[in-house]
Amino acid sequence: MSDELRLEIGAGVATLTIDRPAKRNAISFEMWSRLPEITAEVERSGAEVLVVRGGEHFSAGADISEFTTLRAGAEGAERYAAAVHLGERALAGLSVPTIAAINGFCIGGGCEIALACDIRLAAEDATFGITPAKLGLVYHFTSTRALVHAVGPAWAKQILFSGEFIDASTALRIGLVNEIHPGEALGKRVDELAATIGSRAQVSLRGAKTIIGRIQDGLDSEDRAVTELYANAHTSAEYAEGVAAFLEKRKPSFRDVR
């Protein structure tokens, strides 16, 4: 795996680190193209949570220096856009919960990656923006939909129309991020939340993530696939462990029954 995208599998928690500091973690075509492979590895690993991190910066966006070469012409633009879309969809489609830990710049494609995650925690000095209006591009439909779901149509319009940057406190107020923390406390809070989520019943987490995704895609009432999630949960070893732990007044140990 390229050092610019580094996947580490820990005890229940996988961490994907964007590490391209010379470019403020700008995402290259190669990096976008590798996201489906990386997310498939997360699925195979049995990880319970994926944390996506940067360094000084989460990501300053797509690597615009490639646009005059790899994105040149209609065919190049289509190929490049397809790689971005497939990478974003692979991350959004992971069956396990995902957390974006955001420092510094989270701009353009960086925001696209963050929005593909289920939960976004940010440092108080983080900066956000989505800037296709500065480049003469149109933001992809699924990424625009994710932005609208996060902040609502009015703020999505302001963010995309203006291309202006917003600070972390505004991002929190409009729903772009879930929490903000002092920079030195962000890592601890992310690790704490990842550990908490990882300790919960996976059948519950995956069911909730599936149903929320279906609702976001327009489902407005239960269908057979949703009712099957209920049935699968009620017959799972995790359900039996959860009920037994409650009756025995102890903490459930879901990892022991998976």
* Confidence bin at 2 (pLDDT 50/70/90): low
Torsions phi, psi for 187 (to 5 deg):
-60, -40
pLDDT in tens, 166-184: 999 999 999 999 999 999 9
pLDDT in tens, 151-166: 999 999 999 999 999 9
Cβ proximity of 100 and 120 under 8 Å: yes
* Confidence bin at 1 (pLDDT 50/70/90): very low
Distance in angstroms (rounded) separating the CA atoms of residues 231 and 118: 24
Element (H, E) at 38: helix 29-45
Distance in angstroms (rounded) separating the CA atoms of residues 258 and 241: 10
Query: If you write DSSP's letter for every residue of 131-146 in order, what string do you get?
Result: -GGGTT----HHHHHH
pLDDT in tens, 55-108: 999 999 988 889 888 877 888 889 999 999 999 999 999 999 999 999 999 999
- What residues contact 179, with CB distance under 8 A and at least 6 apart? 121, 122, 172, 189
> What pTM did the predictor assign?
0.95
